[in-house]
Amino acid sequence: MIDLDTDYGIGAAAQAFLARAGKMLIGGQWVDSASGEFFETRDPATGRIIGRVAAGDAEDVDKAVRAARNTLEGRLWGGMLPAAREKLLLNLADLVERHAEELIELESLDNGKPVTIARMIDIGRAPNFIRYMAGWATKIEGATITPSVAMGPHARFHAYTLKEPVGVVGGIIPWNFPFVMALWKTCPALATGSTVVLKPAEQTPLTALRLGELIQEAGFPDGVVNIVTGLGETAGAALARHPGIDKIAFTGSTAVGKAIARAAADNVTRVTLELGGKSPVIIMPDADLDQAIVGAARAIFFNAGQVCGAGSRLFVHNAIYDEVLSGIARIASAMKIGPGLDPATEMGPLVSEEQRQRVLHYIESGLSEGGELLAGGNVRAGDGYFVTPTVFGRVKPEMTVAREEIFGPVLAAASFETIDEVVNLANDSQYGLVAGIWSTNINVVHRMIPRIRSGTVYVNAHNLMDPAVPFGGNKQSGYGREMSKMAIDMYTETKSVYIAY
């Protein structure tokens, strides 16, 4: 299907997948869309088309939801014991490990991210995550409850709770960590015995489709995981409003999250939302500056800033402001930008031309609203959706680059004098996903943590993730939590049982 003539090339396995990919997975069958329509996915480093993928819409979503419902209620999956579900997930983890190189190449090619990131994070951490969730399959338990009041002079009862699968899950996921997101929405659901209809982002459908193949190979019954590729406004919207969906798990922009919650409200479909961020990074005067400068630069430039927890607002104490900003600007200017498939690349292109235009528009607003440009601010010559790592200094809280999520490599920095001042600045956002504090003063750190409104606080670190630690947002960054036992809670319903005796 494609003619890859780059110097970097991709292996035979990834090449073979590109040649066969393009169909959707519904009820265990690889099928075209009902309409017969396709859309194209591109290599962000060159803009070339790398694949044509079925453009599913409402009719395909409906078929997939029916398949997921049948499987949910059928003997094969509905009657499967937890240890068997655990084993299937463990099989999947092994397969992901075995096909890691192929998945790394596909992820880098479809999304544009450096292979080093795909190897270390996206694909490298995946087996661990799957195995963590596999473990929960056999550890889901309710409670026995001693009744607290009398129900009449003689009546007695016994009470307990059952934890049951939430049902058919609709997973709608973004393009920044395509494979990771596909796993976040499927593995906890599968551990509980739920079934899934997954809608990957139209920019990056490939690794989710490869995951579908591996799920089949692992031995999951047909219809446990269904994958409908398609556009957000068609396939995504149809999933969000489908009455056969019990729970929507969404990661993406706040605007789309609100639309999904509204659509789901008509059926009282359960919803969890992991949305945008405008996360503050605070550097205190007592911080280890070498670490903090590198850490703050990574916090914004990792994955070209296309990270929901990106540290996009930087607050640096007056006493060290100039030193920190010149250090970050130096790192930004020295970053090696190039195609993701080049192992030397530190920052790849953005995912799409649309995303590049969005980011450039924000850079223009930073300039016109009076930001001080310390690094970057332009595009890289040649093809591909490249933007240079950009640093704005002396940013005022009311400026657009300080308020809106850019989802690109653009840092908005400002200085502060007191702790009260910086806590207020950090909290002055509609978002509340993560926050970073760099300091060697543990007393100050402990006093600041409870005052910051965010789902996660990093101290002397940024963008850490662990399958056992909950992740999610406050305020307009969303509700619900991913990972940890809390993720399992999000994919179960509690049934209370009273037995009179």
Smallest separation, CB 203 to ligand ADP (Å)? 7
C-alpha 147/C-alpha 87 separation (Å) is 37
**Residue 267 within binding range of ligand ADP, rule CB under 6 A:** no
Binders of ligand ADP among 207-246, rule CB under 6 A? 231-233, 236-237, 240
Select the binding partner of residue 199 from Mg ion, ligand ADP, none (C-beta < 5 to 8 A, by kind): ligand ADP
- Closest to 205 in 3D by CA, of 353, 53, 416, 387: 53
The binder of 462, among ligand ADP, Mg ion, none, by C-beta within 5 to 8 A per type, is none
Closest C-alpha to 386, from 351, 361, 411, 416: 351
Amino acid at 170: G
- Residues that bind ligand ADP (rule: CB under 6 A) add up to a total of 17
Residue 203 Cβ vs Mg ion, minimum distance, rounded to whole Å: 5
Does residue 260 bind ligand ADP (CB under 6 A)?
yes
Looking at residues 153 to 212 of the shown chain, list those that interact with ligand ADP (rule: CB under 6 A).
Answer: 172-174, 199, 201-202
Beta bridge pairs of residue 171: 198, 249
Active site annotation includes 398? no
Amino acid in position 59? E
- Does 41 help bind Mg ion (rule: CB under 5 A)? yes
Residue among 225, 250, 236, 210 at smallest CA distance from 109: 210
DSSP 302-352: GGGG--TT---EEEEEGGGHHHHHHHHHHHHHH--B--TTSTT-SB---S-
| Interface with Mg ion, residue 60, by CB under 5 A | no
Residue 147 sits at φ, ψ, to 5 deg, of -55, 145
Binding status of residue 110 toward Mg ion by CB under 5 A: yes
Sign of CA dihedral 43, 47, 53, 58: positive
Mode of pairing for the β-strands spanning 313-317 and 280-283: parallel
Closer CB to ligand ADP, 56 or 327, in the complex: 56
Q: 44 or 478: whose CB is closer to Mg ion?
A: 44
274 has catalytic annotation: yes
User: Of the residues 308, 346, 404, 405, which is catalytic?
Assistant: 308
Q: For the window 198-237, what string marks contact with Mg ion as x by the rule CB under 5 A?
A: -----x----------------------------------
Whose CA is closest to 236, among 214, 223, 252, 212? Answer: 252
Helix (H, G, I), strand (E, B) or coil at 23: coil
Q: Which of residues 60-119 bind ligand ADP (CB under 6 A)?
A: none
406 binds, among Mg ion, ligand ADP, none (CB under 5 to 8 A by kind): none
Smallest distance, ligand ADP to C-beta of residue 76, A = 29
For 301, the token pair is 């430039």
State the nearest-atom distance from the C-beta of 41 to Mg ion, in Å: 4
In the three-class reduction of DSSP (H, G, I as helix; E, B as strand; rest coil), residue 6 is classed as coil
Looking at the annotation, which residues are catalytic?
274, 308
Binding site for ligand ADP (CB under 6 A): 172-174, 199, 201-202, 231-233, 236-237, 240, 252-253, 256, 259-260
